[in-house]
Amino acid sequence: MEIHYLQNLLNSPIKGDSIIPNDRGVSEEKILALEQNIDVTLPQAFKEFLFLSGEYCLSIEANALNQGLEEYVFRHEQFKENLGKIKLSITRPYYVLIELNQHQFDFIYLDEGDNPPVNNIVIWGDDDFDLEVSANSFSDWIDKEIEIRLNNS
């Protein structure tokens, strides 16, 4: 896969250990299978992420993305459950990137182009939440997460 948006991730200097020495991606076949399973074409920048680091990503601070594609259904259901608590329904296709303490989520809408903005929602309680754009693009979000990881290493 040619990398257009995530050059910083491709060239990340962060390395692991003897067990997991580098980021691990998933095959293009698995990415295609996911698209078919959820019946949505994924944004190009997100496909690049999955290809480079979708199985395990040492390069970014957002550890929830280290759970791989197998956790997609769990994160999606957990997100829907939390949205139900605040009586918020999202009918557009989305992908949950990370969750923190079961009440804060970063996610992308899958219908906002090849490099979509990243949204953040914090659920404080019944009918009480904050929803905002946390990065203007998925690649900006990844770059920020790489910088945080580098500063914390």
The residues of the chain scoring below 50 in pLDDT are 64
Give CA separation, 71 vs 33, 78, 97, 133, 151, in Å.
15, 11, 10, 24, 27
DSSP structure string for 14-81: ----SSS-S-B---HHHHHHHHHHHTSPPPHHHHHHHHHHSSB-SSSS-GGGGG-GGGHHHHHHHHHH
- pLDDT score, position 19: 65
Q: Does domain 22-152 have CATH number 3.40.1580.10?
A: yes
pTM over 0.75: yes
| Res 96: pLDDT | 87
Q: Where are the domains of the chain?
A: 22-152
